[in-house]
Every structure is written in structure tokens, then in C-alpha cells.
Amino acid sequence: MKSTFTQVRSYERSVQLLMVNQFTINLGFYMLMPYLAAHLSGSLGLAGWLVGLILGVRNFSQQGMFLIGGTLADRFGYKPLIVAGCVLRTVGFATLGLVDSVPALLVASAATGFAGALFNPAVRAYLAADAGERRVEAFALFNVFYQAGILLGPLVGMLLTGIGFRITCLASASVFALLSVVQIRSLPARRADDDAADAKPDGRRERVPAQWAGILRNRAFLLFATAMIGSYVLSFQVYLALPLEVRRLGGDGEFATAAVAVLFAASGLATIFGQTRVTAWCKARTAPGQALAWGLLTMGVAFVPLLVATALPVPDEGVGRGLLATVPPTLAALLLALGTMIAYPFEMDTIVRLSGDRLVATHYGLYNTICGVGITLGNLLTGAALDAARSAGMSALPWLALLVLGLACAGSLYGLNRSGHLTHEAPESQPAVT
């Protein structure tokens, strides 16, 4: 960790602050969100479909609005969107703890989601701009802070929720309020460097629809985003398929709860302590496109331990059943973390290169929207595969499907790299016909 902090200090102040900001954003978010469903269904007594609706509104208002957030960041500057997102999340999280009517909860949930759509593309575009030629290393460090927030947030939230969920909401809102103040005072203003490139011959800026049309003409970017959907579907199984597998074999008691916690901790700690080393090793030995393909391949192979475990007899109880419930899912979580460590910094850098350093936040926004839609569809299919596997007695089915998905995406990235698409420059923007 000492070397990690030494690397962080080698960047300029804005980059350091963005990394700390992301840790704090994830800390505040994961203090609250893992416990929201239990509060809505338990304390407020809402029906299951209403709980799903409220959580779904939050997800849709974030994933569906990333493109808007990225466009606004490119147009008005990165800092205003980062601050606006944090302020909006402050209001949204405080409201979740203070209201009990469904309309108010829906509005608060939508606000917290839209807040993420405002600051996420802006943060990444800002980091890419100020890290310069050291983007890959900067995004590796960024992922360390990102995962640290995910790891610590639920632990803090568990302690606070033991006192009361309202306390958790107000504490999380306070984190975002403090973060807003710090960013207003300390984060330097930063605008995209492509204002001149976006100007028409008469000096006016290119209209947003024309900008979006230009991005949609960037075939290499769209192919890359589509190929990378698999990485998000695979990595999300740490929160979906792996905990379900632990509970299928280990039951719903304290053992399974502890095993799931170990699974999350193993994934987070592996990233915190291994990310910078993995990135340095990959950068010294592979090209970015090759690293992306290897990362997706590793994420696909992560499901092999679970596939192998389906061939073993399941003990009725005892130590053997406990090991079968914990060891394969934990190995899968560690391999998913390794695959993400390999791919993530090069993924973020590739988006910038494919954008041609133009409208970077908008590209990040569209990329996140594409991957968000893919995650939703992928999780629906994964859930269907899990149900089908249980009803048909084919426990290997979901793990085989996820393995094939990883291999297919790795092959797609390998092909894109060999064909030169991952080093493709964005097409020049053409002035709109008037």
C-alpha cells in the first residue's frame, strides 16, 4: 500500500482529489444501498413489486441518463457536473431516510440515480485529461480507491443500520454534502480541450444532436463498447450468481451470510493490493488490446471452478458441504477480480483513444449506457439460466453459459485488436448541413 500512495502523490493535485472523491462517493453509496431494499420491505412494509420499482427507477435514471450527463460535462465543464451530482445525491439520500410515501421515495430514488449519471462520466473524463500520458496507471489507482469504497461502505452501513436506517441515510447524505463542499473549494475548474474542434466555421459550437451523430458514426467505438458488455455481465455475478450459489449449498443462515461476506472481501482486497502490480506487469509485456482480451478470457475462466464443482457429489452436510459452498465461488470471485484488474485501466484508456480525445465525457456516458443495458439483459438471462438449471437439474448450465460469454468477448476483442479497430481514431466531426 505504501507504493500505491507513493504513486498517488506523483500525480498533480486534481488527480489525487478525484481518486479520494471516488473512494468517498462509493463509501457513501454503499453505506446505504445494500440495506435499502430491507428498509423498504421491512420497516415501510412495501410490496415486493414496489420495492423492485423503486430500485429499478434508481438504476434506470442512472444508466439511462449517462449520455446526458457526459454531454453536459463536455459542454459546461467537468467540475460543475461533479459538484451537481454530489449535491443531488445529498438531497436524494437524505430524502430516502425522511419520507415514507411511495411518490416521494420514487423521486428520491430517481434523484440518486441521476446524480451518478452527472458525475460518473465527468470524473473519468477529468481524470483522463489531467493524467495525460499516464492514464493507464491513473485508472489502475482509481480502481484501487473505487474498490476500497465498495469494501468499506457496507461495513460502515451495517453498523449505522443497527442503530437505525434513518441514521444511515443522514450519515450517507452528510458524506456527500461534505464531499460537495470540498470539491467546490478545492477541485480546479476543468473543461474539455475540444471547444475549438467543436466549433463550426462561423464560430458557433456544434449542436448536441450533431455531436451524438458523430459518435454513432464511430464504428470502432461502438464495436468496442458492445464487446465489453460481457465484462460487466461477468463481473456483476459477484453480486448475483455467486451469492445465490453460496446460499443454494450453504443455506440461508449465518454460515452463508459469512461466506458471502468473505467472497466480497476477497474480491475487494485482491484489487486493493494487486491492481497496480497487475497493471505494471501487463503494460510492460502486452499491448492494450491484448491486455483487454486476456482480461476477458480470465473473467470467463473464473467460472471453471464452479463448473468443475458441479461434477462433484454434494455432501448432505458438514465440512465437505461448507467447502463446496465457499471455495469454488471464492475462487471465481478472485479470478473475476484478476480479470477486471487486467482489463479495466486499458478499457478506460481505450475509450479516450477511440474518442480521439474529443467529447470524452460524452463517449464515457454512451459507453456506460450501452454496458448498463447489457448488464440488465445479461442479468435477466443469467437469472433465467439459474432457474432453468435448478428446475431441470442441470447445475452446470449457468456456469457454462458464463464461460462461453467470456470466451466469446475475449475472442471479439482479440479480433478487434488484430484488425486495428482498438487503435482507430474517431472520425472527424462534419458540420451539420443548414
The pLDDT tens digits of the residues spanning 341-367 come to 999 999 999 999 999 889 999 999 999
* Residue type at position 76: F
pLDDT of residue 431: 44
Q: What CA–CA distance (Å, rounded) separates 75 from 84? A: 14
Q: Please name the fold of domain 208-421.
A: Growth Hormone; Chain: A; (1.20.1250)
Burial group, residue 220, by CB count within 10 angstroms (0-12, 13-18, 19+): buried
Predicted pLDDT at 196: 44
Residue 205, helix vs strand vs coil: strand
| Average pLDDT over all residues of the chain | 88
Tell whether the model's pLDDT for residue 178 goes beyond 50: yes
Q: Is residue 434 very low, low, confident or very high in pLDDT (cuts 50, 70, 90)?
A: very low
Closest to 344 in 3D by CA, of 127, 47, 56 = 127
- CA 312, 295, 323 angle in degrees (round to 5)? 25
Domain ranges for the chain: 1-185, 208-421
Fold match between domain 1-185 and domain 208-421: yes
Nearest Cα to Cα of residue 268 among 23, 36, 62, 89: 23
CB 70, CB 125: distance < 8 Å: yes
**Percentage of the residues of the chain whose pLDDT score is greater than 90:** 58
Q: Which among 184, 190, 191 is positioned nearest to 86, based on CA atoms?
A: 184
Least confident of 150-164, 275-289, 344-358: 150-164
- Give the mean model confidence (pLDDT) for residues 39-44: 84
Q: Which residues contact 370 (CB under 8 A, 6 or more apart)?
A: 222, 225, 226, 229
The mean per-residue pLDDT over the stretch 97-115 comes to 93
Give residue 424's pLDDT.
63
Whole-number Å distance between alpha carbons of 310 and 255: 21
Query: What confidence tens digit (pLDDT) does each residue in 2-31 have?
Result: 677 788 888 889 999 999 999 999 999 999
Q: Are 119 and 86 in contact (CB under 8 A)?
A: yes
CATH architecture of 1-185: Up-down Bundle (1.20)
| Residues 6+ away with beta carbon under 8 Å from 225 | 366, 367, 370, 371
